[in-house]
């Protein structure tokens, strides 16, 4: 199994403050995984298709983004046979039932609402850390 810090995190987040908060929380919990940040689904797909992100990787995805939002990104990702099995966690401000249903319909690993994590955000980060330690990821 790969060591925890060998799993690359692809953070798809357009908001600089949210991205900084996420990275700071990882650092605070001593998660040293490489984090590659992109601003929208178009950038993320370009990186993935050009194989500029090392495997194994986990995607942390916002839904509300310009150019290509999270749901459209998920549909495009799942339609691509080379990318369809990637692990995706959604971390967004949307509580809309349609967004939640659409996200799980595209086989995400978990859906988290930013404003609701609050002080529990460190719990979310810990959960991701534990996930990295116990789950075997495809290394193609």
Q: 72 lies in which domain range?
A: 63-83+103-117
Q: Can you read off the two tokens belonging to residue 26?
A: 């990882």
The answer to the question of residue 70 being in a domain is: yes
Domain count, the chain: 1
The answer to the question of residue 75 being in a domain is: yes
Q: What is the pLDDT of residues 20-73, one digit of tens each?
A: 988 888 888 777 888 999 999 999 999 999 988 877 889 999 999 999 999 999
DSSP class of residue 107 equals T
The answer to the question of residue 111 being in a domain is: yes
**Predicted local confidence at residue 10, as pLDDT:** 94
Q: State the Cα–Cα distance between residues 120 and 122, nearest whole angstrom.
A: 5
Q: What is the pLDDT of residues 79-119, one digit of tens each?
A: 999 999 999 999 988 999 999 999 999 999 989 888 665 55
The answer to the question of residue 76 being in a domain is: yes
The answer to the question of residue 67 being in a domain is: yes
The answer to the question of residue 132 being in a domain is: no
The answer to the question of residue 109 being in a domain is: yes
The answer to the question of residue 89 being in a domain is: no
Q: Which is it for the CA torsion 126, 138, 9, 69, positive or negative?
A: negative
Q: Going along 6-140, which residue ranges are E strands?
A: 8-12, 35-38, 57-61, 87-92, 110-113
Please state the rounded mean pLDDT for residues 12-25: 89
**Predicted local confidence at residue 118, as pLDDT:** 54
Q: State the Cα–Cα distance between residues 123 and 80, nearest whole angstrom.
A: 32
Q: State the Cα–Cα distance between residues 101 and 130, nearest whole angstrom.
A: 25
């Amino acid at each position: 199994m790969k060591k925890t810090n060998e799993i690359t995190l692809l953070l798809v987040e357009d908001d600089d403050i949210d991205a900084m908060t996420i990275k700071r929380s990882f650092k605070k919990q001593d998660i040293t995984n490489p984090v590659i940040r992109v601003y929208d689904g178009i950038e993320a797909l370009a990186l993935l298709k050009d194989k500029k992100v090392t495997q194994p990787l986990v995607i942390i995805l916002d839904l509300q983004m310009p150019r290509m939002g999270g749901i459209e990104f998920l549909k495009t990702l799942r339609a691509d046979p080379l990318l369809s099995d990637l692990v995706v966690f959604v971390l967004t401000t949307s509580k809309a039932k349609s967004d939640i249903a659409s996200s799980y319909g595209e086989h995400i690993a978990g859906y988290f609402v930013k404003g609701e994590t609050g002080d529990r955000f460190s719990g979310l980060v810990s959960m991701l850390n534990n996930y990295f330690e116990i789950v075997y990821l495809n290394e193609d």
